[in-house]
Amino acid sequence: MIGGWDMTKLKAAILGSGNIGTDLMMKLRSSPVLELTAMIGIDPLSDGLKRAQERGYATFSRGLKAFLEEAPDMADIVFDATSAKAHIRHARMLKEMGKIAINLTPAAVGSYVIPSVNLTEHLKAENINLITCGGQATIPIIHAIGKVVPVSYGEIVATISSRSAGPGTRANIDEFTETTSHGIQLIGGAKRGKAIIILNPAEPPVMMRDTVYALVEGQADASAIAASIAETVDYIRSYVPGYRLRTEPIIDGNKVSVFLEVEGAGDYLPSYSGNLDIMTASAVKVAEEVAKNRLSEAAVS
């Protein structure tokens, strides 16, 4: 410990005291390489800021600008769990202050990262874009298929419970579809991509379910594609335990259909909120690998 800080960890702050930020706070408590120091919000009465105070974290209720003016040294990494429009402004402010931004919004800012696909390529990025919940769940499957045979078209349908779609999610639906579609091509490797989101009002609430459709070039090797998908699913389950296949992949000629389900860990959110859980779990996974890289470099120097 030096000056009150654990020098074997990177300091982190959460920007956004809503459901996503609060769930992220719960997950970061046990991180071996990240030390959560603060939560930043704009609603002093939010449950997130209240819970952060109760757990001994510093809290800021006047937004990122106040945090950067009052206590910039409290964080090396800042998780942005606000909105796409807000992140455009936040990204600029964090860059100017030399902070690493982990972007949990669908803003098309920063390096697109899916842990199971390209994490090691962006460990030094100043802004890491986690795309969307649908992207984190489905783009790895497109990529897994593409490792066996080129994908000419990839389409994903993400169905989530209306109850797990808060104001931020609803306000970002256009950004969700655009950013996810771009990620299907950029990260998934499909020549064309399309993303659809469905808010299901069913009671009791349904868990997140995702459908992946892919058209491949030429005849698909069913066993090789199934094996590649299974390997990817196993890796994702290492940091999102509730991620699973609902059935074996269906392969018919050059058409591949994959059906997924994501159950939340229940750290703060209900188990049906797998759409939010996969984002916070992916954010922790990415930030921990970034921290390990930075800390190992610091130890050598």
Q: Among all residues, which ones are annotated catalytic?
A: 133
- Alpha-carbon gap, residue 198 to 242, rounded angstroms: 20
Residue 209 is labelled as binding a ligand: no
Residue 168 is labelled as binding a ligand: yes
Q: Among candidates 197, 153, 144, 199, which has minimal Cα distance to 175? A: 197
Strands (E), 22-99: 34-40, 58-60, 77-80
- Alpha-carbon gap, residue 222 to 121, rounded angstroms: 29
Residue 134 is labelled as binding a ligand: no
Residue 228 is labelled as binding a ligand: no
For residue 156, give both structure tokens: 């994903």
CA angle 64, 170, 271 (to 5 degrees): 90
Residue 20 is labelled as binding a ligand: yes
Residue 38 is labelled as binding a ligand: no
Residue 30 is labelled as binding a ligand: no
Give whole-number Cα distances, 88 to 63, 73, 94, 109, 127, in Å: 14, 22, 10, 7, 11
3-state class of 194 per DSSP? Answer: strand
Residue 116 is labelled as binding a ligand: no
**Amino acid at residue number 53:** Q
Residue 223 is labelled as binding a ligand: no
Number of C-beta neighbours around residue 185 at 10 A: 17
Question: Rounded to a whole number, what is the largest CA-CA distance in the chain?
Answer: 63
Residue 170 is labelled as binding a ligand: yes
> Do 81 and 55 meet the contact criterion of CB atoms below 8 Å apart?
no
- Alpha-carbon gap, residue 6 to 232, rounded angstroms: 34
Residue 193 is labelled as binding a ligand: no
Residue 171 is labelled as binding a ligand: yes
Residue 146 is labelled as binding a ligand: no
Where is the binding site, in residues? 17-20, 164-172, 275
Where is the binding site for NAD(+), in residues? 17-20, 164-172, 275
